[in-house]
Structure 1
Amino acid sequence: MTIAYAFVMSVTALAAKQAQTTIAVSTLVFWQSLCCTLILIPQMRGRWQKRPLSVWKIHFLRSVGGFAGFLLYYWSLNHIPLVEASLLRTCAPLCVPFVVLLLHRVHIPKSRWLPLFIGFIGVAFVIQPTPEHLNPWHLVGFFSAIGLAFSMVTTRMLSHQVSGQETLLVYFFLSALLSLPLIGLQGDALWIPLAAWPWVAAVVVTLYVGMYLYNLAYTYAPASVVSPVSYVGVVFSGFWGWLIWDHVPNIFAILGMVFIFLSVLISTRMTRDKG
């Protein structure tokens, strides 16, 4: 499920990058969220249950995190290569311990700092934070990982209390609502040109399938186990970037991939040994 999710989401990123040549990011996020909401509403008919306020708070955090993650990710796609944007987004596992610290007040064990340090070295290789090379859109791509980390942690929290369909429906509905004021503030058009609809449809279909697989994966396994497998999505993104835009990652991006993947592997091994 995780490998399928990684491949499908790489296609989502490809279609989103193409769609954004004619429509704004906020408009794309609105329509992808609205369409997925309409797909999910029939699935929840007769299945709604009264939820305590604590559950709705987690729903809200998950939705805001997911919304911010996608919005920042799509923005970064317009300014940096697909493989680098995808690589920075997959840094979400590095941010998970800090999200857990913020939400649960669970301090990061000393043993976890080594893989985190290795992972952030990898991030530095990708971003190259020097006056000559620093691109602020790399930072935007990394901030999308923070939103995804919130989504990962809260999805796991919700999995013990609500169905995956409910989690997705609430997320997509709130994401559509959050997109509307952004469209208005930026003065973007709400309607989509006819020529852009095939790409938007591809985003909607692949996103719905990908998020369904995402919820299943994080329902049956913790983020620390799923994350190393989902990293294969960077390979898929690299393939699309080479095939369509003739982009080949430089040595720094490749080193960044190696360090980040190594940090995720070390974290996963620690989790398994502890279990």
Structure 2
Amino acid sequence: MLNSQDPIKKGILLTVLSAFVMSITALAAKQAQMTIAVSTLVFWQSVFCTLIVFPQMRGHWKKRPFSVWKIHLIRGFGGFAGFLFYYWSLNHIPLVEASLLRTCAPLCVPFVVLLLHRVHIPKSRWLPLVIGFIGVAFVIQPTPNHLNPWHLVGFLSAIGLALSMVTTRILSYQVSGQETLFVYFLLSALLSLPLMWFQGDSLVVPLEIWPWIGIVVLALYVGMYLYNQAYRLAPASLISPVSYVGVVFSGFWGWVIWGHIPNAYAILGMLFIFLSVLISSKMAEGKG
């Protein structure tokens, strides 16, 4: 007899594995960016992921109305901006802090929904939002003597990810997951080209950097796959707080490789943000 808890346990395990794999993506990206530009990395990352997803599109090619393409474009721009700002911040702030700021995406989702759908934020949601943004303030520490603009860039990655999350959910009711990923990666590659031209970056990648790009591509694809599978097995209210373990993995890599140790304010900020995610997840579970 199948235990009803087995799928949930498997979903939790897949979430932890996904978080670990995605931390390797950030690690490899940080290493690659020591030699190549961020726009170059995003371009090749997107091109190879497009090639991986392309064969999976067999049987999913369909004519879509403009309303669907509009959401595709918004989702593509949000995902592109999310990775771009995240990778930029990796070059200037510790890996754990950049990853932590990116995990603030759920805090930004209500504001994205307000912008896209004019749906006001319920009063009950303000408590976890306030707690979460207090945590962000502890991480950024915006004082005249301590204001690193790259922390703000890291937080912009959360806004891009939140836009991606909201539009991905909208698309999930209208198109296949393969189509969503294929269009996203293709748009990301196309958006990278004018950015590279504007910044004077090159498509050429030194031979010794290709293994790092390969790790980025493989880890990104596997991480996304595991995350999607986890959502099939366990409720989102459980996945969200568990996925926060990715910050721990990022902190471990940052400590082992670069000797970065978060200060007391950053650690306090982590706790506040995790508490915010946990409260929001419990609220969502209660409504479910």
Interval of TM-score (by shorter of Structure 1 and Structure 2): over 0.9
Return 5+ residue gaps in structure 1 as ranges: none
1:143 to 156, 160, 164: 156
Partner of 1:85: 98
Aligned alpha-carbon RMSD (Å): 1.4
Higher alpha-carbon deviation: 204-213 or 6-15: 204-213
1:28 to 23, 28, 41: 41
Partner SS, residue 124 of structure 1: helix
Partner of 2:11: none
Distance 1:265 1:20 in 2: 33
Partner SS, residue 253 of structure 2: helix
The answer as to whether partners of 2:18 and 2:224 remain within 8 angstroms in 1 is: yes
Partner SS, residue 21 of structure 1: coil
Structure 1 length as normaliser, TM-score?
0.96
Partner of 1:127: 140
The answer as to whether partners of 1:64 and 1:175 remain within 8 angstroms in 2 is: yes
What is the deviation of 1:223?
A: 5.5
The answer as to whether partners of 2:22 and 2:219 remain within 8 angstroms in 1 is: yes
What is the 5 A alignment of 1:226-241? 226-241=239-254
**Aligned-pair identity (%):** 80
Return 5+ residue gaps in structure 2 as ranges: 1-13
The alignment status of 1:69 with 2:82, answered yes or no, reads: yes
Question: How many aligned residue pairs are there?
Answer: 275
Pair 1:257–1:103, CA change in 2 (3 A): same
The alignment status of 1:110 with 2:104, answered yes or no, reads: no
1:101 to 107, 114, 135: 114
Partner of 2:24: 11
The answer as to whether partners of 1:122 and 1:260 remain within 8 angstroms in 2 is: yes
1:247-270 deviation line (CA, Å, top 9, x unaligned): 111001000000000011111111
What is the deviation of 1:228?
A: 1.2
**After TM superposition, which residue ranges in structure 1, 4 or more long, deviate above 6 angstroms?**
219-222
1:158 to 171, 175, 193: 171
Partner of 2:9: none
The alignment status of 1:173 with 2:186, answered yes or no, reads: yes
Distance 1:104 1:162 in 2: 20
Partner SS, residue 50 of structure 1: coil
The answer as to whether partners of 1:83 and 1:241 remain within 8 angstroms in 2 is: yes
The answer as to whether partners of 2:15 and 2:239 remain within 8 angstroms in 1 is: yes
